[in-house]
A = this chain, B = another copy of it.
Amino acid sequence: MKRFEQYRIGPKNRLADIAPRQRPYDLGGKKAELKELDRRARELDALQNLLYASGRRKVLLVLQGMDTSGKDGTIRWVFKRTSPLGIRVAAFKAPSTAERARDFLWRCHAVVPAAGELAVWNRSHYEDVLVPVVEGWIGKAETRQRYEHINHFEKLLTDTGTTVIKCMLHISKDEQRKRLQERLDDPAKNWKFAPEDITARKKWDAYQQAYDALLCATSTDYAPWYVIPADRKRQRNLIIAELLNTKLREMDLQLPDPVPGLEHVRID
């Protein structure tokens, strides 16, 4: 995991230390990058199969990031070689009435990965320490309390066999401008544009501050945060695919032992 230390949040490595526009995988152009991504996507498929077959461990990939940071695109590209069978995607939007009537972790707990599963959360419980903080709906004490609840929740998950991988897709303000404009200009992308995105963009600095605070408070030994440079889409995909593969390789997954006595069975 040494290679990923530069993206891992800790007391000496914060959001502002990680440049969104870097190109850690310089493979000599688009074609080579796509080929390498495909190779990694295939390895991820093999590893996910093993996770499913071994049927004991669980993996949770949390994706956070500003609007247009590429959460959907990451899921599409990183999992392009994986069967939908073993991947469970949950997208968290503004909470419904039923969800608001419970604690903020309730709807997340309902969709944690089962044994053998890899769950991907497109936004997550971290939304509850972003919007309410920026909008001033909760104060400092309640925010700190939520960080604690989150850390305890993730401890529960890791203690019971889940590998939690948290990625914040980090784009620059200028890159977001380009991407939002593209959504407006391209009729095929129009439906992805929401006027609220402009309102949120106006509070860019407040959101970056809220991200910095939550990253510091919830990047634990057992569930660390990785800030992924995401201005360049292929680079972002390559980093996340490799991070996932590395974590899965480290789990040292094995096929289960065959049921004894089956060696000589003939089916008729």
Contacts and interface: CB of A to CB of B under 8 A. Distances in A.
A213 interface: no
Interface string A112-131: 00000000101000000000
A76 interface: yes
A190 interface: yes
Interface of A: 53-55, 72, 75-76, 79-85, 87-89, 91, 120, 122, 177, 180-181, 184, 187-188, 190-195, 198, 201, 255-256, 258-259, 262, 265-268
Given A191-B255, A195-B262, 14 more contacts: A53-B192, A54-B191, A55-B191, A75-B84, A79-B83, A79-B84, A80-B81, A82-B84, A85-B91, A181-B267, A190-B262, A193-B258, A193-B262, A198-B265
Q: Which 10 pairs between the two chains have the least Cβ-Cβ distance?
A: A76-B83, A190-B258, A84-B87, A180-B267, A53-B191, A181-B267, A177-B267, A191-B256, A84-B84, A79-B84
A140 to B, nearest CB: 31
Contacts of A258: 187, 190-191, 193
Contact of A259 (B53, B76, B187, B195): B195
Given A262-B184, A265-B184, A84 B120 contact: yes
